[in-house]
Amino acid sequence: MLTLIDERNKKYVVDGKKDFHTDLGVIKAEDIQNSKPGSIIKTHLGHEMKVIKANVNDYIDVMERRCTIILPKDIGIVITYTGIGCGDKVVEAGTGAGATTLRFSRVLGNEGKIYTYEKRKEFYEIAKRNIEKFGVKNVVMRYRDIRDGIIESDVDLVFLDMPDPWNVVEHAYEALKYGGWFVSYSPYVEQMKKTRKKCEEFNFSEIFTYECLLREMEIKNDAVRPKTRMIGHTAYITFARKVP
């Protein structure tokens, strides 16, 4: 899978299985197949496109979606603070468009596995197409309401992006291995408070909540300052660890 960047710096992710059509012209499938990172491809109208290898971020930027996705700033601290890595087992709900699923998949590697639960048929089908198109092999999709229970056991992380994560805390505690992490992503304070209280009831340890804010720097020849606009509040991210 490759990323094409046109003269407007617009990105397209292609697999070379069919001709690629844009408003700047058509690129034949065989030209895509014969290219490699660093190549320049021309459309039939003569417009040039640079070729780079598509990574997961490129793909997520352009993949099909009908819902909001968790931003890198938030999923990054989940990966960092839980310490998950190659060979681990993760349970996730809900799948949505599959963006977080793909990010976890890359971190876990071929030796790991992510089981992702989605109860809404429309989102399940979209995520299934997105995940299959990107070609990862360590994802198991479940068309199932995680509130009805978690099938897996001995799990390293249970990650929830859903309106009522407190209703899954008991299932998560049973599914997690000792030392495993429960993490919930909640936009509202009330959700976060109820989830934390439930974690306390089940004797989770190391319970803490973070909000991650991200602001880019504005750099000019004669002045440097933080940008006036920033990615502010998205969610409260609550962590809890199963420790006997």
145 is in an annotated binding site: yes
Instruction: Decide if 163 contacts 94 (C-beta within 8 A).
Output: no
d(CA 238, CA 183): 5
DSSP string, 156-223: EEEEE-SS-GGGGHHHHHHHEEEEEEEEEEESSHHHHHHHHHHHHHTT-EEEEEE---B-PEEE-SS-
Does residue 71 contact residue 234 with C-beta atoms inside 8 Å? yes
**118 annotated among ligand-binding-site residues:** yes
d(CA 91, CA 181): 10
- Residue 231 Cα distances to 33, 73, 163, 172, angstroms: 38, 9, 22, 30
Q: Is 54 helix (H, G, I), strand (E, B) or coil?
A: coil
Annotated ligand binding at 148? The verdict is no
**CA distance readout (Å), 213 to 142, 189, 216, 232:** 32, 16, 10, 5
Residue numbers in the known binding site for S-adenosyl-L-methionine are 118, 145, 161
Residue numbers in the known binding site are 118, 145, 161
